[in-house]
A and B are shown apart, each in its own frame.
Chain A
């Protein structure tokens, strides 16, 4: 690998300090901080779900948006995190905070098993293999004893921090807010790092990227694993919030919703992805009466975005 990637095409250079992004961002953050003081339990609950989707969508955005790989089984890593943390606290009495590094390691291993063979091949292969992986993780969770089978895992410990136990929706709201901010920070730094620039090159032109000495398989695998790790941390916190998880929380539809969040707002851009994640979290509330029509609405939204607004609802004006 060469020492440094010096110049970037302006289109892919991440520009951070733009007032049109910073001001709404700050306003949104301030609103997010005070929200539970004014909102009732229902609104706080939905907002917590929205923050969960922000974390997941930002994580998937590293894979899809930065590296340009289609991952259709992202919920599997979310499940790996949730189950690892859940099993360790419920069955073996681990401290919640200690389960996070274990869950991250488990996600890394799973990421290598799936990513290493497939990332050498055409990008289509990854899409369909991850689709299969998502199903397999669910089947495994359904059939093992330790995961609680089809009825799931119950009695997951609530986490404690400095003697304070996270119990209510508001507590988890703030926990997810912290996680979302941390994830956004990681995304911002990684975007500007050497690794991030390598991803942008691989996405724009794989062969040219290989030509200037970027190892494309390594670059893709890094993106894939980083996405996996973020989902697994979100899974840990999710398990702690729910105290009970079942295989049906991690279906293909879950993966699709996360992907829709990434695509809806604007692939590859943090503000767009955050917007998309919030919209996706609101979707089930809006479509409450739609019943079996719900997946069709999601599908039409995805297809319409791709055909008519491929850069998302809040695209980057500079491109």
Chain B
């Protein structure tokens, strides 16, 4: 592997990794608070990309296809899809909160399928172009060209995640979130409005996924109803690698998985068509040897 290829894959890995990290974070937060793997999370990411594209197309009429448009799309999509997350929690997950584990999981799956099926029905399964005009200016390291867009993208995801970490560790609501994740019943007795905290967690997790969706859509230039499926799986893998339930773990896991994937698929005997198999193999290995992940605590089945 030459130095150029190394740098190129490092850049690719960091970008993909920051998308994974943003989505893994939502998985992890929701899991931490209600101990449920939110299957719909990948579809929320997809919905975020679509809402972003719609906003972008409307706003583009006035502000053009540049940075301002992308930022507008990002903010509106995060807000709207965050609310969508709250609605899903209210109507699909809350009624099931005391149901048997299997019913909760199937309901979560159903919610995911409804989002996905709606997107398919509305778009007819077409790919939509997300044509941005962000320019290709940037810096050259050796022969590798790194655009400012790529740098801003990674920086923006890190900023979002850092904001999230600050929220969870510094604010009153963050404290309530952590309390609920440790003991829901006791939190209620201490006067915490548990329903509200859960709704807030869904809002923030979904908003992050939507942010990831808009950025990924704008970066790759294409949006598709099925884009959330594999993304959800990989974000889950990232969350497991970092340690599910842990906020810094999700970031670490996401970036690590992005790098692993970038370098793994450039190995001569792996090849890009085996990329997903490679990621899945990593997941299985982690589950065998380090199921708690790199930064997580022990995983105990809810009784």
Residues of B within 8 A of A127 (CB): 37, 39, 105, 109
User: Is B117 in contact with A298, judged by CB distance below 8 angstroms?
Assistant: yes
**Nearest Cβ distance between residue A207 and chain B, in whole angstroms?**
6
Main secondary structure of the interface of B (DSSP, over half): helix
Counting CB contacts under 8 A, is B95 at the interface?
Answer: yes
CB closest residue in chain B, given A205: B303
Contact A295 B116 (CB under 8 A): yes
- Minimum CB–CB distance from A47 to chain B (whole Å) comes to 27
Query: How far is it, in angstroms, between the C-alpha of A254 and the C-alpha of B274 when the chains are bound?
Result: 22
Q: Nearest chain-A residue to B107 (Cβ)?
A: A306
Determine the chain B residues whose CB is within 8 A of the CB of A136 once the complex forms: 276-277, 280
B140 neighbours in A (Cβ, 8 Å): none
Q: Is the CB of B114 within 8 A of A131?
A: no
Residue of A nearest to B226 (CB): A252
CB of B122, distance to nearest CB on chain A (Å): 9
Task: Check if B5 is an interface residue, CB within 8 A of chain A.
Answer: no
Answer whether residue B227 sits at the interface, using C-beta atoms and an 8 A cutoff.
no
Cross-chain contact B99 with A122 (CB below 8 angstroms): no
Q: Which of B36, B95, B102 has the most CB of A within 10 A?
A: B102
Q: How far is the CA of A297 from the CA of B303 in the complex (A)?
A: 34
Q: How far is the CA of A20 from the CA of B105 in the complex (A)?
A: 31
* List of A residues within 8 angstroms of B118 by Cβ: 296
- Residue on A nearest B37 in the bound complex, by CB: A124
- Interface stretch of the complex, out of A21-29, A64-72, A174-182, A235-243: A64-72
Cβ of B111 within 8 Å of any chain A Cβ, yes or no, is yes
Contacts of B125 in A (CB 8 A): 292
Contact across chains for B101 and A68 when beta carbons are under 8 A apart: yes
**What residues of chain A lie closer than 8 Å to B51, measured between beta carbons?**
none
Residues of chain B within 8 A (CB-CB) of A302 are 106, 109-110, 113
Contact with A along B90-125 (1 / 0, CB 8 A): 001001100111110111011101101110110011
In the complex, how many angstroms separate the beta carbon of A234 from the nearest chain B beta carbon?
22
Closest to B276 in A: A139
Interface string of B267-290 (1 = CB under 8 A from A): 000000110110010011001100
Residue pairs across A and B with Cβ atoms less than 8 A apart, 29 shown, are A68-B101, A117-B284, A124-B105, A125-B37, A127-B37, A127-B109, A129-B283, A129-B284, A132-B283, A136-B280, A139-B277, A143-B273, A143-B274, A206-B301, A252-B229, A292-B124, A292-B125, A296-B121, A299-B110, A299-B116, A300-B114, A300-B117, A302-B106, A302-B113, A303-B107, A303-B110, A306-B103, A306-B106, A307-B95
Contacts A122-B299, A256-B109 supplied; 8 other A-B pairs, CB < 8 Å: A68-B102, A129-B284, A135-B276, A139-B273, A206-B301, A300-B114, A306-B110, A310-B99
Binding site for A on B (CB under 8 A): 36-37, 39, 92, 95-96, 99-103, 105-107, 109-111, 113-114, 116-118, 120-121, 124-125, 229-230, 233, 236-237, 240, 273-274, 276-277, 280, 283-284, 287-288, 291, 299, 301-303
Q: 6 shortest A-B CB distances, which residue pairs?
A: A296-B117, A299-B113, A303-B110, A295-B117, A117-B288, A124-B37
